[in-house]
Structure 1
């Protein structure tokens, strides 16, 4: 943790470094040209969020582009509106000079007025390349992480310096903002813009539910719990299997639906066999349209132990009329009200998780949760979220002296605030 005195020193040095490149600042037009910079195009909430925001800004008249630094690519993501013309550099890592040169050239070609960097590595790269005159654009970081993975902890010191050089930091959750502000993460402008979804695309669909449950051979009296997420270590798929094993031992008739793919899928499949659950676990793989799969479920689940901050999948489940069981990480408590539209449990607490699942297995309790699910996320619309980003872009364009601006109508204030 950086102590206040060190933090003040970082602010001072960042301001001095910014003065070096901004002595003759390039004016930003009203409709700024916006470049979104991501590490890759793999399946994930941050990637989906990025292409959604980009497509929405383009519809509102902003010239936009998307640049992926690495080689990771999912055809599901690449086919989404907002990703169809993405440029991919296929850089294998930023440890080589050639990677930095490729990105420097790409930033120069983009001629962007604002670069929106998604998470740590893109922000670090863009901030330092701006010092090397790779771009004169304003730099905004959209940060999707609360609890860092060990690999991300290594980058944290550089991330702090990069944020000191950036023009704005966006948190996607109030809880996340509180967590990092308490740890002295600093940027000259900070905003909170909660994630949102296209609520018109989701809703309870009884016909789709019946058809998918028949396809999956799920009986009416069986509880189908769904986890829609990439198979990555922090998503903690194994914990769900352990909890379902315990729930079966306690008499619950539960089946599991996994939608997604990734590095930990093979180990999860082995664990399902080892726990004698292989006949009760469905691996659906990546799906371009998750709606019928979500509609088939009785409960959605997210049991992440790191990274998770404001899950799009959780909002989509609730918008589909499906209550959520979530580990209380990041902004989970901003999405799920315990006992109202789902249940929360402490990260890593399998006993509490199992107790939540047993409660949700009770038809009367589940019906009460389902009744609140849709209305609980009506404030988390894509339009509200995009309004926030439009306001943010205008605030950043206005220059660093602006101290406060409301971003968008929401359940509470979403200020762009000066950190000075």
Structure 2
């Protein structure tokens, strides 16, 4: 199959990570893949060393002729069977290009906030395939009147090798933090803002530290509330056990340092890629029971679901996963779970079957 992906969004987002992973998954599966992407952005960097042919372009809006020119140039060379898009600003350009090129279009929607009324009605009906990245997101579109047979679910693919546990990396990261090999590391990675549940997580972790002297919290990320969180940590007796590293471009090595991952959002999440990546590294997950997060783990087997913002419940769960026997069993189960449900070969095959089949209904 020949696939032309179009993703000219320069921002560092979950949708961009999904774009890179899906492009690589389809290329690794043996399909002929090209991509029209923003020059030197996250997507470009993620695909620069792949065997995917890259074309530079920017779609500033639906009328940006330079974006269309890049798509048509790539299409003339590849003669694709499908055009694939990931970002809202390119939905209409791809639908128009698909009509002009007589090539079917597959679009992914990563957000649950509604599109403008006309787009919300027409885009799922004009695209040959419209994908949500979780059952939660799919239901949100159905609740707004999109017919069920128009929306399929395809989860984020995860490269198991990229997330593989590396004991040497773990030792190096722990050493850089001044921690011993017996440290228990609760990891958080993501945006630092209130909706992500960072403050209830901080309170829960700090309370757990009072009972578990080997527990440390490793915070990866930045955002509007990062400074407030740092100041709160500095005012506690456990300040030295909260480690803030700021924004990390490549977080994959840090999964090896985590004993457990916290995904504590109190605002709805469409999915939860970091949850899946952590489990691929053998790290059990503590996740909020909200939005698409429950779809990322096998509850009670690879991690635990907890009430969003419930400090006492999160403290107890953190202490529960301080048990090395439980962590080991959950971590092993987590790797198997991701391999079976989210690994790149699995998702690439599901995507291929979806594109080759008829437009079909609910998962």
Question: TM-score range with shorter-chain normalisation?
Answer: 0.7 to 0.9
1:387 and 2:352 aligned: no
Whole-Å separation in 2 of the counterparts to 1:32 and 1:196: 19
Give the Cα separation in 1 of the matches to 2:264 and 2:310. 10
Residue of structure 1 aligned with 2:327, choices 354, 366, 372: 366
Deviation at 1:254, TM superposition (A): 2.9
Aligned ranges 1:194-233 → 2 under 5 Å: 194-231=155-192
Determine the C-alpha separation between the residues in 2 that align with 1:383 and 1:272. 42
Query: Relative to structure 1, is the Cα distance of residues 66 and 281 closer, same or farther in structure 2, using a 3 angstrom cutoff?
Result: farther
Give the match for residue 55 of structure 1: 24
Match of 1:43 among 8, 12, 17: 12
Quote the residue 1:255 is aligned against: 216
SS of 1:361's partner is coil
Check whether the contact 2:124–2:150 (CA below 8 A) recurs between aligned residues: no
**Corresponding position: 1:349 with 2:315:** no
Give me the whole-angstrom Cα distance separating, in 2, the residues matched to 1:232 and 1:242: 15
* Residue 384 of structure 1: how far off its partner (Å): 0.9
- Are the structure 2 counterparts of residues 315 and 89 from structure 1 closer, same or farther at C-alpha, using a change threshold of 3 Å? same
**Cα distance in structure 1, aligned partners of 2:73 and 2:23:** 19
Q: Describe the shift of the 1:90–1:137 C-alpha distance in structure 2 as closer, same or farther (beyond 3 A).
A: closer
CA distance in 2, matches of 1:116, 1:200: 25
How many residues are treated as equivalent by the alignment?
A: 357
Give the distance between the partners of 1:292 and 1:116, measured in 2 at CA.
30
Paired with 2:185 and 2:336, the residues of 1 have a C-alpha distance of 22
> Which residue pairs with 1:12 in the alignment?
none
Moved more, 105-114 or 370-379: 105-114
TM-score normalised by L of structure 2: 0.80
Cα 1:211–1:68, aligned 2, differ >3 Å: closer, same or farther? closer
How far 1:314 moved relative to its partner?
1.7
How far apart, CA to CA, are the structure 1 residues paired with 2:258 and 2:143? 38
Q: 1:222 and 1:67 mapped to 2: Cα distance?
A: 42
Query: Would the aligned equivalents of 2:114 and 2:120 in 1 still touch at CA under 8 Å?
Result: no
Partners of 1:86 and 1:270 lie apart in 2 by 45
The change in CA–CA distance for 1:142 and 1:354 in structure 2 (over 3 A counts) is same
Question: Partners in 1 of 2:362 and 2:287 — Cα distance?
Answer: 33
Instruction: Describe the shift of the 1:114–1:375 C-alpha distance in structure 2 as closer, same or farther (beyond 3 A).
Output: closer
Aligned to 1:417: 361
* 1:288, distance to aligned residue in structure 2 (A): 5.4
Q: Among residues 276, 286, 293, which one is paired with 1:332 in the alignment?
A: 293
Q: Conserved in 1, the CA contact under 8 Å of 2:185 and 2:218?
A: yes
Equivalent pair of 1:43/1:76 in contact (CA under 8 Å): no
Choose the corresponding residue for 2:257, options 296, 299, 324.
296
Change (3 A) 1:269 1:188: same
Give the aligned partner of residue 270 of structure 2: 309
Q: Distance in 2 between matches of 1:82 and 1:238?
A: 42
Match of 1:64 in 2: 34
Say what the alpha-carbon RMSD is for the aligned residues.
3.7
Structure 1 residue runs of 5 or longer lacking an equivalent are 1-30, 396-401, 404-415
Q: Is the 8 A contact 1:119 1:142 kept in 2?
A: yes
**Distance verdict in 2 for CA 1:269–1:68, change over 3 Å:** farther
CA separation in 1, counterparts of 2:208 and 2:118? 43
Q: 1:163 to 1:105 in 2, by over 3 A?
A: same
How far apart are the structure 1 equivalents of 2:49 and 2:233? 32
Q: Give the distance between the partners of 1:124 and 1:239, measured in 2 at CA.
A: 41
Please say if 1:269 is aligned against 2:230: yes
Structure 2: 5+ residue stretches without partners: none
Query: In the aligned structure 1, how far is the partner of 2:54 from the partner of 2:227?
Result: 32
> Shift of the alpha carbon at 1:142?
1.4
Per the alignment, in what secondary structure is the counterpart of residue 283 of structure 1? strand
Partner-residue secondary structure (3-state), 1:199: coil
